[in-house]
Amino acid sequence: MPELPEVETIVTDLKILEKSKISDFKVVNEKTIRQRPFLNLLEKEFRKRIVGKRITKVSRRAKNIVFEVDRYYLVFHLKMTGQLVLKKCASKGCKIITGGHPIVGQGNILPNKYTRGILDFDNGSVLYFNDVRRFGWARLMDKTEYLAFSDLYGLEPLSKEFTSKYLKNFFDKRKKTTIKQAIMDQKYLVGVGNIYADESLFLAGIRPARKVESLSDKEIEKLHKSIIKTLKQAIKYRGTSFNDYLDAQGAKGNFLQHLKVYGRAGKECRKCGGVIKKGKIGGRGTHWCDNCQL
């Protein structure tokens, strides 16, 4: 599943849709757009609210892709196998921009058997929402619903509100929790998924299995800086790709080449030459170096 850097990269590339007017919206699978507690709209009601309106802003909230349309928020979550494919045509031909899970064997066939929804624009561009396993969704929310939805998530780690003081106050509530599980708690801090939790803790020199209560103030400050640095670097390299993510240019993220511990169990530590270990914390595969992390 794409994490914060991957979704941020897709959002950045899809900002070209800002100011575009929606000319039609088709639903191939009703489940894609109908789920409580949101508007739970039928296709014709969904269309009525967005067709003829312009996308004023493309942004991200946690791992959600958000299109602001008039008084509504069109929110996509790609889940495990979702992708957004923008087909942008001009006199010189068509350009395909793909972000999310790669779908093998479909090439540039659009729509295809995995297409769940289609958004048409008056300039001829078309956005396809494809999903192999049908876990992904698109929801239309009014402002009240969107704010309530947004409140389900914690603080954005790249916001100015995310300070070492915020992290310390949060940790005061989770003293008996392992440090890795704490920083992955989406109710308090969004977007630090498994990959970036391991990488942030390595950069901070902190073992993931330690309890929160064992951290000194200096270590908390270091971890705060490490989380921000790791996420910013991952965004710079357009995310991390193993086998389940492409950015919106259809390319694999390059941060994979810069990983220090994640996915490197049994390999030599890039920093000290020791061996990278792997275990499980909270049911998640976890990577660390015994020498570099205390």
Residues 118-170: pLDDT tens digits? 999 999 999 999 998 888 999 999 999 999 999 999 999 999 999 999 999 99
The per-residue pLDDT for 266 is: 98
100 band by pLDDT with thresholds 50, 70 and 90: confident
> What is the rounded average pLDDT of the residues 265-270?
97
CATH number for the 164-289 domain, one of 1.25.40.10, 3.30.750.24, 2.30.40.10, 1.10.8.50?
Answer: 1.10.8.50
Residue 242 has pLDDT above 50, yes or no: no
Number of separate helices (H) and strands (E) present in the chain: 7, 11
Residue 13 corresponds to which amino acid? D
Nearest one of 63, 64, 88 to 250, comparing CA atoms: 88
Annotated catalytic sites, by residue? Answer: 2-3, 63, 284
Q: What is the mean pLDDT of the chain?
A: 89
The per-residue pLDDT for 207 is: 98
> What is the rounded average pLDDT of the residues 218-243?
88
State the distance between the two ends of the chain, measured CA to CA, in whole angstroms: 29
244 band by pLDDT with thresholds 50, 70 and 90: very low
> What is the rounded average pLDDT of the residues 188-200?
95
Which range, of 40-54, 212-226, 268-282, averages the lowest pLDDT?
40-54
245 band by pLDDT with thresholds 50, 70 and 90: very low
CATH superfamily assigned to domain 4-150: MutM-like, N-terminal (3.20.190.10)
Q: Could you give the C-alpha distances from 218 to 175, 190, 273, 288, in angstroms and in order?
A: 16, 23, 26, 20
Kindly state the tokens that stand for 33: 């757009």
Residue 139 · residue 35 · CB < 8 Å: yes
Q: What percent of the chain has pLDDT over 90?
A: 70
CA 240 to the chain's CA centroid: 11
In the chain, where the domains are located: 4-150, 164-289
Higher confidence at residue 216 or residue 101?
A: 216
The per-residue pLDDT for 36 is: 54
The per-residue pLDDT for 86 is: 92
> What is the rounded average pLDDT of the residues 51-76?
96
> What is the rounded average pLDDT of the residues 19-40?
77
> What is the rounded average pLDDT of the residues 35-39?
53
Which residue reads 């109908």 in tokens?
Answer: 34
